[in-house]
Structure 1
Amino acid sequence: MNKGNNAVPEPERRAFLKGAGLSVAALLVGGLSFERYVVPKDRGIPVMDNYPLAILEDPQGNPITVADVEQYAVSSTATSANILVFNYPLQDEPTFLIAIKGVKITTPEDSIVPTSGFAPVSPSSKAPMTGVIYDPFNDISIIALSGICQHLGCVPPFLDYHPGKSIPFEAQLVGYKTNGTGVFEWPTNGLIYCKCHGSQYNPVWGGSNLYNNGAAPSPANHSLPQIMLATNNSPDSSLDDPSTFTGSYIFAYGINSKNAVIRTHLQYPGGQTYGPQVKKENLTGGTAIPTSTQSIPSTIYTYKDTPSNIETGAPSSFDVNQVNGSVVLYKTVVVSNSGPWKGNFHRLP
């Protein structure tokens, strides 16, 4: 594997697509294919053999904690949300970091079988989604999803999270339906909406977030890949001091294997959606994220797809990248459109 370097990515490779996304015309011609302009030509050289373990940092180089992210948490009544973005698994792969208050992002209904009978499993007893940080003390879920639209590759801020009833103007422009009383149909916790051609994703659905059967058509046919998150302290609700958990650092350690291919940005766009080919597809070409000077945690914690089960272990047990048998800790910087983490989404450090 080649170690990461700290070079700033080359000037935006998606400039053409961004220009198209700015125009109303682009909203109305979503059926036209610009994909041949989107897929980079230099993604044929492997960068690393496996997903990196990366610590999330602020623009000043300080590790970001669960509490730091929770200050940006939004509820179902929110009318806007800050855009938080970091690069993973490569330096040119933007990823959303979204904190939603009052929501426990859980596994799909059919993934948990009741211990007896056939009664549905209540949301309160369902397992948190694998790779989602759930804070049981403040009832906040923190999820990371690819910031590359799976239709034709638009990126933030053209792809953006609109919480609550903050339906974007572009959605109204293309005829997003109302419920008959003048109120637009919009999920309770909002959608990630692409202003280029109207693709929609529901973040509270976790890795299966494609929302193409709503009140307006969505041209995307693939969910946003879910980036797996972990902490260096347990999220167990039985902790005596909640600050132990909320003060935890946040780490990215891979992509949900059930939805790992970042389409429109791969050497093989028509390849597998999971399996051995996934790692090669996601980590081919591009620029590796830089290495960190922080200490590698001895243990990391994340949720698993089973009720009340927290997966824990040494980072190496999570199948992260290693060099000569040792885990390498990388870093990725979180930037936002406002506040202390303000930065440029298209030139992330």
Structure 2
Amino acid sequence: MDLATKLAELQKRTLEHREVLLTEEAAKNALVMPFLQALGYDVFNPGEVVPEFTADVGTKKGEKVDYAICTDGKVDVLIECKPASSDLNIKHAGQLFRYFTATDARLALLTNGVTYQFYSDVEKANIMDEKPFFSFSMDAIKPTDVKTLEKFQKSAFDIDKIVHEAGNLKVQSLLRKELEKEFAEPSEGFVDLMARRVHDGRLTASVRENISKMLVSTISSLVRDLVNERLSSALNAASPGPVEEAPSESEMDADGIVTTQEELSGFHIVQAIASRLLDPKRVTIRDAKSYCAVLLDDNNRKTIVRMHFNGLTAKYLGTFKGKEEERHLLSDLTAIYSFSSQIEDRLRELDDSLAG
């Protein structure tokens, strides 16, 4: 089983159980240890994955980090875990900072089992950086995340290569965040840059305002087209004929309910749309035999949309207004983005704090 498949299974487990994993131990056992196993580490070998790793640091005696990954007795990675319900921030990394300096470790991982933040010493040798060089969330694993995580697999692990690439990954992460900001709400500088390329006249306030509005819609359209193009290419390459593979046992639960990759992809699109208004962690997935529901706060009385993908040649998205469901034919998964306004209106309907 490849890493992408293992992560997809772990993602499903995370979505199903994260709300009840209120303690650090629960998150470690249910989420973090399976993640380390997915990377190929033997979590039951105390010489390879050392639980409750202890090293005296200055006046701090007997402090522990949750795990240390070791090779031939040498510490490679330090891991600190928090409850799944806890939001991660740099205040949680105090022990990692101290241990990073006192051990041979070049990598540190801070996680709550849902979000994973990887640190190194990019800025100053032997001093852990305050910002991670790579982070990802089990809520929304991207293909690029899988490619990066492949470097952390036991079979491919090369500490020197990872540390060497950490600087580039950190810059790429920062660039991505800045681009996301620009795409969502273009800054004056970005508007001016693009305006001067497409407008020959004087850049008046009205011209800038108009181009700013068009930039947001143009970028959204471009992203949809690119995603659609990639999806079409992948589907054409993977599906030369109309016959679909039967679902594996891992994709089917005891009731025979199958959560397909298409449903997971559709869920992530809805989650991305919802993130404009609220914490995407509040958006959950719940599958049934005839449809797959996307819910707010995991409450079946707060259905955001339903995906009618099972057993149908065509695929439909069900949007809601009150108790009435309206079904829409989807040409492809990215067409869900065209229902962003209906989804946002539904969220405002379900959460009074968003109204107004």
TM-score relative to the length of structure 1:
0.24
- The structure with the largest helix share of the pair is 2
TM-score by length of 2: 0.24
Of structures 1 and 2, the larger Rg is shown by: 2
